[in-house]
Amino acid sequence: MTTLLMSLIAAALLVMAALYWRQIQDEENNDVREEDGRVTPLLRGVNYLLSDEPDLALQEMVQVARLKSEAADVYMALGEMFRAKGEIGRAVRIHQNILARPDVPKTLHLQAHLALGKDFQTGGLLDRALRQYEKALMIESSHVEALEASLRIREQSREWVEAEELLSRLEQIQGDSLHLHRAYLFAEMADSYFPKDIEKAQACARRALELDVLCAHAHIVLIRIYLQQNDFSQAEKALQEMQEKAAEHLHLLVAAIMGNQKFYQRYGENMLMEYWYAVKDEELALSWLEAVAAKEGTNVVNALKQKLNFSASTLRGSLRLAGIESDVKTPLSEHAIKWRKKMTHFVCGECGVKVIELRWQCPQCHAWGTMHAIREEYI
């Protein structure tokens, strides 16, 4: 522990001790000796902290907390400081000490469970964090912070059924509609069942679209299911619906559409072509050209490029095209290929974070369905 940290904690404790002392003085003076007894260990704790002996300081702090429950606030604040500085073990010990005491009120137990949950979560011990949040929810079943923290862990652990159950509870408590969020959880469930359990995958994708037809991920999973089943009429219908409701993500399906050769020849190519001429989405054309390059080589790329009458209008587009279409390796095409592999391709509409691979949940702000392919930087 650095000296700076020790001084900061000691300073904070001194302020808290002063406030606590004032509070005691405001109370009736019928038992001054007992009040003295509460403050002395606090000051001793500060001394130990200044001498770089935090464990002894903790022992003293426990005495303060045992004497009167208000002092536990001081103790909780100390735990927060340890966690903030990455001293997770010490934060855990503080919060466990509070929970070991039967004499503190339930609300403090609730706070201690929440704090302990945060300690474990910060330390990456997600199962143990979850158990603490569950205990907090046993004290207060509608505690929003505990529900949200549990939801975040379930999402992080890709436990979609449990996540959806928590989200339903939050929706009931908060009263606002979290339909799009729930739709994305059902889409994740659908994706996790595909292709092993098509029936469940299909049911979840449909449920997602019932909840919110703007859920692009559910459209994509459903179309993949139809393509895998060679159900061309349903695939065509689902593609049309996606064009109406979630067209900006159509480019993500190009490779899957081309993967079913029959569908591509009969419907897919024409549908994509019509859509391209209707909206001229450069992202779609480039994804298409990239998929063709990966599957069939440069000659076919050039033929498709002519069919699309495509020329890149952005710097990003030009670089991607240089990586796709050149037969002969030039310094530019080699740089373009390297750049393509590590280019940030998606941006979150909520927080602005940029990532290489698409995620339906933003890794930074945790919002769902907010990542978009970057379509800017026009020349």
Q: What residues line the site for Zn ion (CB under 5 A)?
A: 348, 350-351, 362, 364-365
Of residues 140 and 350, the one with the C-beta less far from Zn ion: 350
The Cα-based distances of 25 to 34, 43, 67, 130, 354 in angstroms read: 12, 16, 16, 41, 55
Q: At closest approach, how far in Å is the CB of 185 from Zn ion?
A: 17
CB closer to Zn ion, 241 vs 350? 350
Residue environment code for 303-337, b if the CB has 16+ CB neighbours within 10 A, otherwise e: ebbeebebebebebbbbbbbbbebeeeeeebeebb
- By C-alpha distance, which of 95, 71, 91 is closest to 20? 71
Q: Enter the tokens of residue 60.
A: 């003293």
In the complex, least distance from residue 367 CB atom to Zn ion, rounded to whole angstroms: 5
Q: How far is the CB of 373 from Zn ion (least distance, A)?
A: 15
Token pair, residue 173, equals 């408590």
Q: Which is nearer to Zn ion, 289 or 348 (CB)?
A: 348
Give whichever of 76 and 167 is closer to Zn ion, judged by the CB atom. Answer: 167
H or E stretch covering 69: none
Shortest Å distance, C-beta 169 to Zn ion: 24
Q: How far is the CB of 352 from Zn ion (least distance, A)?
A: 7
Nearest to 153 by CA among 183, 180, 123, 179: 123
Nearest residue (CB) to Zn ion, 216 versus 321: 216
- 72 contacts 105 by C-beta, under 8 angstroms: no
Q: Which of residues 86 and 349 has its CB atom nearest to Zn ion in the complex?
A: 349
Nearest distance, CB of residue 358 and Zn ion, angstroms: 13
Smallest gap from residue 351 Cβ to Zn ion (A):
3
**Could you tell me the smallest distance in angstroms from the CB atom of residue 282 to Zn ion?**
23
- Cα dist from 35 to 20, 22, 58, 76, 212, whole Å: 10, 11, 20, 20, 60
Question: Between residues 142 and 364, which has the closer beta carbon with respect to Zn ion?
Answer: 364
- Secondary structure string (H, E, C) spanning 96-131: HHHHCCCCCCHHHHHHHHHHHHHHHHHCCCHHHHHH
Within the chain, how many helices (H) and strands (E) appear? 20, 3
105 vs 349 by CB, closer to Zn ion = 349
Whole-number Cα distances in Å, 259 to 2, 86, 120, 149, 340: 59, 49, 44, 40, 22
What distance separates the 2 farthest-apart alpha carbons in the chain? 95
